[in-house]
Amino acid sequence: MFDDRTRDACVVVPGIMGSVLEDAATSRPLWGVNLSMLTDPLTGDGLLGALHANTQEQTADADTAQHAPLTRIRATALLAKPWWLPVFEGLDPYSDLHKTLTGVVLAPDAVASFPYDWRLAVSYNGALLARAARAHLTRWRERVAAVPEWRTAGERRPRLLFAAHSMGGLVVRAALEQDPELAADTRAVVTVGTPFLGSAKSVLAFNLVNSQAKPTWVQRRLQAVSATLPGLHDLLPGYRCLDLGPDVERLTPGDVARFGGNADLAARSLDERARFRREVFALPGHRAIVGEAQPTVQTLEEQRRAELAVAAGRHYAFDIGDDLALVRDPATGIPARRNTYGDGTVHTPSAQVGTGAVTYVFGQHGMLMRHDEVLRQIRRIALERPQGAHLGSDGTSIGPGLETPHLGGTFGEPITLTVTGLDNPAGVSLSVRSATTGRPGHPLTLRRDPDRTDGALSARFTADAPDLYRVVLETGQHVPVSQLVLVTPPDA
């Protein structure tokens, strides 16, 4: 009846950091509104301190959500402005995704957003999502039934389509696993950069103080918050990621605690990872959109600095054979390394697991929900049209990659920006502009990086003020790749 419309209801589920949080008692914004919490020690101390999860929040699970939902902090909306966090880097707002879905449904109220308190456990937020999605689908079905031209004889009842970014895909999986009837009422789940196997970057977030990252006040406060958050522990990698030289092991709760996390929260998360390996849950109509070709931390190596354990991120992974044993180099016997790339935060195998319906795009993790090709694919899936496929992504595909400092930069010091996957700088443009004021961009000159062995190009950028900057890589042949970089004042 409507070739360019879907009768289904849509739910947008953001990733970690992607929901605005506020104090429920005072309505004071705690997250996603004012970047001064990351640039001003006085503002940041109070706001970051309020985000610490207390004992009740740390133990909340699906049963808690059903019987005694938490009320100290509430999620009010999806992120509406560009945001940034050390290690995880930039995150763009979800307004373009919401607009895309609104353009393919019968009426705007067919699209609902699910902001959630991403500090808390995935299982807890999954139970809340299941309830919210059921209520949204019920309301939409009643609306469709009340409009004669929408109520076409012989057409199926409206079902659900979830569009989920990053951690949001894990929350959707938890919701549908907990509620089989809701799963039966779901036509499709689109996950974008979801770390089904976890992300090694989560360990780096726990390790900020150990690594002596700067500015010191930001890293110290963020590590203190991170160690209390069940949601961040739910992103821990469940695959073999700790490089011991002659062997590679999965993380243990003790490893996570040594790197700065919480052993109890890690144990719960890693137990869930083990359960998912044993009990595979297939998402209904799962379509995965996966960022590729970006330099991505895939495994970890432990280093020592005095009495501290420092987690060093490595841009390679290890293959597992059909017998579930590590593939080893025939000559040396050590585990064979292979760069599987990813979206800068989630390595490719983690984002594509569980489905054969995969679309690959060149893009950074936090920027994917504004990526033109991602939005085009989500629109096609909503309209039940064939999904495009980017062939050749076997971990060795070549395409434009962008690497920025994952801890940001310090005002007054030059920042190195790196472009990978391109043969030469001809026709390539790299520019930087303010993401907060829209000040015109700074064109940069790319040159061969003499310190790199992979033929990468690099440019240096010195900010003219502390600010959030957008770095944009354009080749003329691909959708632009972008990333956000926060430049903070130096430590007092």
Closest alpha carbon to 482 in 433, 425, 410, 437: 433
Query: Structure tokens of 188?
Result: 């499709």
- Does residue 453 surpass a pLDDT of 90? no
Strands 481-488 and 409-410, sheet pairing: parallel
Supply the pLDDT for residue 2.
56
103-112, 156-165, 483-492: which has the minimum mean pLDDT?
483-492
Q: What DSSP designation does 388 have? A: P
Q: What CA–CA distance (Å, rounded) separates 98 from 70?
A: 27
The model carries a pTM of 0.93
Q: Which amino acid is at 104?
A: V
pLDDT tier for residue 396 given thresholds of 50, 70 and 90 = very low
- Give residues with Cβ within 8 angstroms of 156, minimum separation 6: 7
SS3 content of the chain, % helix, strand, coil (to 5): 30, 25, 45
For residues 70 and 60, is the Cβ–Cβ distance under 8 A? yes
Collapse the DSSP code of 273 into the 3-class scheme (helix H, G, I; strand E, B; otherwise coil) and give the result: helix
pLDDT score of 155 = 73
Q: For the chain, how far is it from start to end, CA to CA, in angstroms?
A: 64
What confidence tens digit (pLDDT) does each residue in 292-344 have?
A: 999 999 999 999 888 889 999 999 999 888 777 899 989 888 999 999 999 99
Q: Residue 148: its pLDDT value, please?
A: 87
Q: In terms of Cα–Cα distance, which of 57, 196, 48 is closest to 121?
A: 57
- Mean pLDDT (the chain) is 91
Q: Which residue has the higher pLDDT, 155 or 83?
A: 83
Evaluate whether 180 touches 163 at the Cβ level (below 8 Å): no
Q: How confident is the model at residue 392 (pLDDT cuts 50, 70, 90)?
A: very low
What CA–CA distance (Å, rounded) separates 160 from 382? 10
Question: Does the pLDDT at position 119 exceed 90?
Answer: yes
The distance from CA 138 to its chain's CA centroid, rounded to whole angstroms, is 30
- Domain boundaries of the chain, sorted by first residue: 1-397, 401-488
pLDDT at 5 over 70: yes
Is there a shared CATH topology between the 1-397 domain and the 401-488 domain? no
- Residue 395's pLDDT band, with cuts at 50, 70 and 90, is very low
The SS3 call for residue 335 is: strand
> Which DSSP state fits 445?
-
Confidence of residue 47 (pLDDT cuts 50, 70, 90): confident
- Spelled out in words, what is the top-level CATH class assigned to the domain 1-397? alpha beta
**What is the pLDDT, as a whole number, of residue 477?**
82
Nearest Cα to 88, choosing from 239, 209, 193? 193
> What is the structure's pLDDT at 129?
98
In tens, the pLDDT along 141-151 reads: 999 999 988 87
pLDDT at 173: 98
- The stretch 450-462 carries a mean pLDDT of 84
Query: What CATH class has 401-488?
Result: mainly beta
**How many secondary structure helices (H) and strands (E) does the chain include?**
15, 26
* Residue 355, pLDDT above cutoff 90: no
Among residues of the chain, what percentage have pLDDT more than 70? 95
Q: Tell me the average pLDDT across 399-426.
A: 89
Q: Quick one: average pLDDT of 100-127? A: 97
Asked if 16 and 231 count as a contact pair (C-beta separation under 8 A), the reply is: yes
In angstroms, the CA 372 to CA 402 distance is: 17
pLDDT of residue 357: 92
Mean pLDDT, residues 260-272 taken together: 97
Asked whether the predicted pLDDT for residue 56 surpasses 70, the reply is yes
Distance of CA 256 to the CA centre of its chain: 20
